[in-house]
């Protein structure tokens, strides 16, 4: 959610990079936080991030309807780009969980040295 808000108003490609990096980190941190079902926890973090963003957009629409400041750019790009970013952010969130799973599970390769 923070990546979505932080990148508002930036160039589309910068927004994409920031959003994907934010969801990769969110998926990783969600995976670190739990001992099992790391991908499903990352999906929950992904869904919560987008739901919080939707809540912010609804509040901004209400403020705009009552004569608030000019309407900001709500979504990252047009409809097509927003759907692609939505799906890509899910993929990188789950990837972050798999990275956490690989790094912190007992199933990791025994050949890797730990200091």
- Full DSSP string of 80-94: HHHHHHHHHHHHHHH
Answer yes or no: is 109 within a domain: no
Q: Is residue 108 part of a domain?
A: no
pLDDT tens across the length of the chain (115 residues): 566 666 666 777 888 888 888 889 888 888 887 777 778 888 888 898 888 888 887 887 888 788 766 655 656 666 677 788 888 988 998 898 888 888 877 655 555 545 4
- Dihedral pair phi/psi, residue 99, rounded to 5°: -65, -45
Rounded Cα gap, residues 85 and 56, in angstroms: 18
- 115 assigned to some structural domain: no
Note whether 69 and 63 are within 8 A (CB). Answer: yes
Eight-state DSSP code of residue 115: -
- For residue 112, being part of any structural domain is answered with no
Residue 74 lies in a domain: yes
pLDDT at residue 92 in the model: 92
24 occurs within a structural domain: yes
Q: What is the value of pTM for the model shown?
A: 0.71
pLDDT of residue 49: 85
In a domain, 111, yes or no: no
**Does any domain span residue 20?**
yes
The number of distinct structural domains making up the chain is 1
Residue 107's pLDDT is: 58
- Distance (Å) of CA 95 to CA 23, 57, 63, 68, 108: 9, 27, 36, 39, 16
Q: Provide the residue range defining the domain that includes 76.
A: 2-103
């Amino acid at each position: 959610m923070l990546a979505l808000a932080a990148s508002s108003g930036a160039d589309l490609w910068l927004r994409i990079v920031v959003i994907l990096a934010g969801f990769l980190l969110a998926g990783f941190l969600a995976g670190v936080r739990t001992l099992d079902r790391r991908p499903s926890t990352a999906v929950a973090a992904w869904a919560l991030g987008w739901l919080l963003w939707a809540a912010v957009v609804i509040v901004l629409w209400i403020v705009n309807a009552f004569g608030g400041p000019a309407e900001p750019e709500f979504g990252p790009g047009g409809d097509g780009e927003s759907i692609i970013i939505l799906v890509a952010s899910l993929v990188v969130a789950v990837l972050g969980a798999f990275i956490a799973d690989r790094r912190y599970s007992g199933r990791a390769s025994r050949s890797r040295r730990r200091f």
